[in-house]
Amino acid sequence: MTATASNPSPTGLDLQQAAKDHLWMHFTRMSAYEDAPVPIIARGEGCYLEDINGKRYLDALAGLFAVQIGYSHGEEIGAAVAAQMQELPYYTNWSYAHPRAIELAKEIADLAPGDLNRVFFTNSGSEAVESAWKLARQFHTANGERRWKAIGRDVAYHGATMGALSINGVAPIRTPFEPLVPQVGHVRNTNRFRRPEGETEEQFTQFLLDDLEHRILSEGPETVAMVIMEPVQNSGGAFTPPAGYFQGVRALCDEHGILLCADEVITAFGRIDGWFASEHYDIKPDLITMAKGMSSAYASIGAVVASDRVAEPFLHGAESFMHGLTFGGHPVQTAIALKNIEIMKRERVVEGVAERTAAFRQTLSQLLELPIAGDLRGTGFFFALELVKDNETNATFTDDEAEKLLRGFLSERLYDAGIICRADDRGDPVVQISPPLVAGQAEFDEIAGILGEVLGEASRLVGH
C-alpha cells in the first residue's frame, strides 16, 4: 500500500468524531466505542486492509466471508461500472430485462449444479433467503397445496430481515423481535465436537436424520414448505456435514414433498470447493441462495437459483411470482458480479482453493497445540477454531467467561495484533478464519503466527 493519511476524508470531516456521532453500526455494541476509537478502514490491497492511521491488517475474514478476489481489483471492476453507467445506469427486472441481468442469469445457471436454471436477483443474502421461502410457499400453492413452514438448524444464521431472521437458530438475535414470522422448526446442526466417544460417522448421520424426520412429522409434513441448510454451517463454527447426511436430507424432503434450499450465501463462489458447495456434497437442492462471493462483495447483489421443477408453474398460464425488488438485478450490480466471475475464472481462484486448502489446514492445525484450542474444523478456505477451557477435558466456557474472553480480550487484541478474524459466541466460542480466496502460504503463516501469539496470551489469561 502506498500513501497513507490520518484523515482521508476529502471534505476534511473529522471521521472519528462523525462516526461516534452519526454512524449506526450493524450488530455492534456501540458503547464499546464511547471511550475507544471506532476502527475505520480506509484502504485495501490483496488480502490486506489499512486503517485511517495507516496501520495494516491481514483480513482473515474476507470482509464478511465475501471478498473472494481480495481488495486489488477496484480499478478493473470500476472500469466495468463506468462502462455500464454510460450504457444503462438503471433499469428494472419487473416485466423487462436488460443485457447484464440476462448474461449473469445465464452465467449462474451454467455454474450451478444440475437443473438449477432460473435466477431471481436480490440485493443481499437476507433477501435471497426471504425470496426462497416466499418462492417455496407460492410453488406449493401453485401446485394446489397449502404449505408455509420452514425448517432450519440450531445456531444457524440466515439473515436479518423478518423472514430470514425467523429461520435463524441464533436465540439472542431472534428474541428482541419476537413474535417472528410463524412457523419455523429447528433441528440439530452437524456439530460433531463433544459427541459421544466411539460414535461412528454413520451413527452420527442417522442420529441427525432421525431428528429431522421427527421434526417433519411433528410439524405435519403437509404443512412444511422448505428445509433450509448451509452446506457448511458458519454460525457455531464451520460445521461440515457427515457422510451421507445431505443424501438423507434430500430423501426425507422427497418423501414428504418438501423443497430443499441450500443457503450458499457463504459457501458458493469458491469458499468450499467449486463454484457451489452443493456440487461438492452432492446435495441436489431445489433452490440455492447466494450473495457475498457472487460479486466478491464489490456489489450488493444476491440471488436465488431455482430448479426447472420449481420454476415450471411460473412459466405458463396466469401464475407469476408475487415478489419483486426495485433494485433486484440492477445493471451496475450485475455488471460487477459478471466482472468478478470473469476475474475469478481468469485467475483460477476456485481451483486455487482446492490446491491450497490442505496446506491451509496443515498450517492452522499447529494452533491445536495451545491448551485453549479444542477443535479445528471446516474445509476450503472456511475454518473455525473452537476455544475451550482446557483441551484435555474440552470443557467449554460459561457465558460470562466467554463474554470476558471474546469481547473483553480477544476481539480487541486480535485487531491490535494486525489481524481481522471473528471471535464469535453465537454457539460455543470460536475464532472464525475465512480469508480472501487469493491468500497463499505467506498469509496462512501470518494468520497462524498472530493467532498463536494472541491465543497463547488468552491461554495464560484463563490459567494455563
Ligand X SMILES: Cc1ncc(COP(=O)(O)O)c(C=O)c1O
Q: Decide: is 304 part of the binding site for ligand X (CB under 6 A).
A: no
Query: Smallest distance, Å, CB 59 to ligand X?
Result: 16
Distance CA 379, CA 272 (A): 6
265, 300 contact by CB (below 8 A): no
Residue appearing with cell numbers 495451545: 370
Q: Decide: is 424 part of the binding site for ligand X (CB under 6 A).
A: no
Q: Decide: is 125 part of the binding site for ligand X (CB under 6 A).
A: yes
Q: Decide: is 124 part of the binding site for ligand X (CB under 6 A).
A: yes
Q: Which stretch, 83-91, 152-160, 402-410, 424-432, contacts ligand X (CB under 6 A)? A: 152-160
Cell matching residue 330: 440492477
Q: Decide: is 158 part of the binding site for ligand X (CB under 6 A).
A: yes
Residue of the chain from 52, 81, 266, 448 that contacts ligand X (CB under 6 A): 266
Residue of the chain from 154, 263, 273, 446 that contacts ligand X (CB under 6 A): 263
Query: Smallest distance, Å, CB 441 to ligand X?
Result: 27
19, 38 contact by CB (below 8 A): yes
Q: Which stretch, 99-107, 118-126, 186-194, 451-459, contacts ligand X (CB under 6 A)? A: 118-126
Q: Decide: is 446 part of the binding site for ligand X (CB under 6 A).
A: no
Query: Smallest distance, Å, CB 379 to ligand X?
Result: 16
DSSP string of 386-410, one letter each residue: EE-SBTTTTBPPPHHHHHHHIIIII
CA dihedral 134, 140, 145, 148 (to 10 degrees): -30
Element holding 225 (H helix, E strand):
strand 224-229
Q: Which stretch, 144-152, 156-164, 185-193, 308-316, contacts ligand X (CB under 6 A)? A: 156-164
Query: Smallest distance, Å, CB 243 to ligand X?
Result: 22
366, 446 contact by CB (below 8 A): no
Please name the amino acid found at residue 206: Q
Residues 17-76 that bind ligand X (CB under 6 A): 64
Residue of the chain from 63, 113, 152, 159 that contacts ligand X (CB under 6 A): 159
Cell matching residue 369: 497445540
Q: Decide: is 279 part of the binding site for ligand X (CB under 6 A).
A: no
Alpha carbon 231 to its chain centroid, in Å, reads 11
Distance CA 238, CA 123 (A): 25
**C-beta atoms surrounding 192 within 10 Å:** 16
Q: Which is nearer to ligand X, 188 or 404 (CB)?
A: 188
Residues 217-256 that bind ligand X (CB under 6 A): 230, 234
The β-bridge partners of 118 are: 306
Residue of the chain from 121, 139, 157, 383 that contacts ligand X (CB under 6 A): 157
| Closest C-alpha among 380, 323, 346 to residue 129 | 323
Task: Write the burial class of residue 104 (CB in 10 Å: 0-12 exposed, 13-18 middle, 19+ buried).
Answer: buried
Query: Smallest distance, Å, CB 66 to ligand X?
Result: 8
Query: Smallest distance, Å, CB 374 to ligand X?
Result: 23
Cis peptide before 179 (omega within 30 of 0): yes
Radius of gyration of the chain (CA): 22
Q: Decide: is 295 part of the binding site for ligand X (CB under 6 A).
A: no
Residue of the chain from 68, 126, 131, 357 that contacts ligand X (CB under 6 A): 126
Q: Decide: is 265 part of the binding site for ligand X (CB under 6 A).
A: yes
| Closest C-alpha among 79, 89, 81 to residue 330 | 89
Q: Decide: is 129 part of the binding site for ligand X (CB under 6 A).
A: yes
Roughly what angle, to the nearest 10 degrees, separates helices 331-346 and 99-111?
40
209, 134 contact by CB (below 8 A): no
Q: Which stretch, 143-151, 189-197, 260-268, 305-313, contacts ligand X (CB under 6 A)? A: 260-268
Q: Which is nearer to ligand X, 332 or 458 (CB)?
A: 332
Q: What is the separation, in whole angstroms, between the first and last Cα of the chain?
A: 39
Query: Smallest distance, Å, CB 65 to ligand X?
Result: 7
Residues 330-369 that bind ligand X (CB under 6 A): none
Q: Decide: is 291 part of the binding site for ligand X (CB under 6 A).
A: yes
429, 402 contact by CB (below 8 A): yes
Considering CB under 6 A, how many residues would be counted as binding ligand X? 14
Q: Which stretch, 5-13, 151-159, 279-287, 322-330, contacts ligand X (CB under 6 A)? A: 151-159
Residues that bind ligand X (CB under 6 A): 64, 124-126, 129, 157-159, 230, 234, 263, 265-266, 291
